[in-house]
Chain A
């Protein structure tokens, strides 16, 4: 009954540090996504992977990289964190667009 699992749940970084957010789903979904959510901005797509072996940029990809490690796992990397990347990050997956998303519980990231 796991669904989408994200780690870590909270993280504080100093400007310039790097980190990787991990995401795994056990629903055999083809597509996986990374979103960020900021107050007043709604959910914005960072990167997505429509299927294993492919990744594409979303609305706000700058400063991020992703890896679709296998069908289950999709990681998001911040190479050099900036205060503007302070946000809540959600990983999501779906079987197809007709089925809606299942979201992970989120990572609250603060960059100081």
Chain B
């Protein structure tokens, strides 16, 4: 089992839809969490950090559930430009510090 797992998708949604992605992590010592987006043939770009209390940035909301060991990303009012792969990233400290990338969730937003 991978330490960080994401549903690969693809998620196909119409413009204006709300879509949510989950990312589960297996190591309870995981400390910090991020969402990145990666456009086709481009580099990953930091979308947002995920804080314990949850956080919002415009149409994007990130949540952390430590008890169930997952983070989520909610996108409201989807735009065509949201089409990308969304990567979940987890930092953990046990056995030495390590940053683990999920394999990504592919999103297609259609007109």
In the complex the two chains form, is A42's CB within 8 Å of B42's CB? Answer: no
Chain A positions 17-46 with a Cβ under 8 Å from a chain B Cβ: 40-43, 45
In the complex the two chains form, is A100's CB within 8 Å of B103's CB? Answer: no
Please report the C-alpha to C-alpha distance between residue A42 and residue B44 in the assembled complex, in whole angstroms: 11
Please report the C-alpha to C-alpha distance between residue A41 and residue B91 in the assembled complex, in whole angstroms: 19
Interface size class of B (residues with CB under 8 A): 10 to 19
Question: In the assembled complex, which residues on chain A have CB atoms less than 8 Å from the CB atom of B91?
Answer: 97
Please report the C-alpha to C-alpha distance between residue A103 and residue B89 in the assembled complex, in whole angstroms: 14
In the complex the two chains form, is B99's CB within 8 Å of A97's CB? Answer: yes
In the complex the two chains form, is B43's CB within 8 Å of A105's CB? Answer: yes
In the complex the two chains form, is A103's CB within 8 Å of B45's CB? Answer: yes
How many chain A residues touch B (CB < 8 A): the figure is: 15
> What is the minimal beta-carbon distance from B49 to any residue of chain A, in angstroms?
6
> What is the minimal beta-carbon distance from A61 to any residue of chain B, in angstroms?
15
For the A-B complex, the count of residue pairs with Cβ-Cβ distances under 8 Å equals 36
Question: In the assembled complex, which residues on chain A have CB atoms less than 8 Å from the CB atom of B45?
Answer: 103
Question: In the assembled complex, which residues on chain A have CB atoms less than 8 Å from the CB atom of B87?
Answer: 42-43
One digit per residue, 1 when the CB lies within 8 angstroms of any chain B CB and 0 when it does not, for chain A 35-78 equals 00000111101000000000000000000000000000000000
Please report the C-alpha to C-alpha distance between residue A89 and residue B78 in the assembled complex, in whole angstroms: 30
Please report the C-alpha to C-alpha distance between residue A42 and residue B6 in the assembled complex, in whole angstroms: 11
Question: In the assembled complex, which residues on chain A have CB atoms less than 8 Å from the CB atom of B101?
Answer: 42-43
Between B34, B43, B45, B49, the greatest number of chain A beta carbons within 10 A of the residue's beta carbon is seen for B43
Question: In the assembled complex, which residues on chain A have CB atoms less than 8 Å from the CB atom of B22?
Answer: none
Q: Which residues of A contact B (CB under 8 A)?
A: 40-43, 45, 90, 97-98, 100-106
Closest 10 CB pairs of A and B: A103-B43, A42-B103, A100-B46, A43-B101, A100-B34, A97-B91, A42-B101, A105-B43, A106-B43, A103-B44
Known: A98-B49, A100-B36, A103-B44. 4 other contacts (CB 8 A): A42-B102, A90-B43, A101-B36, A105-B43
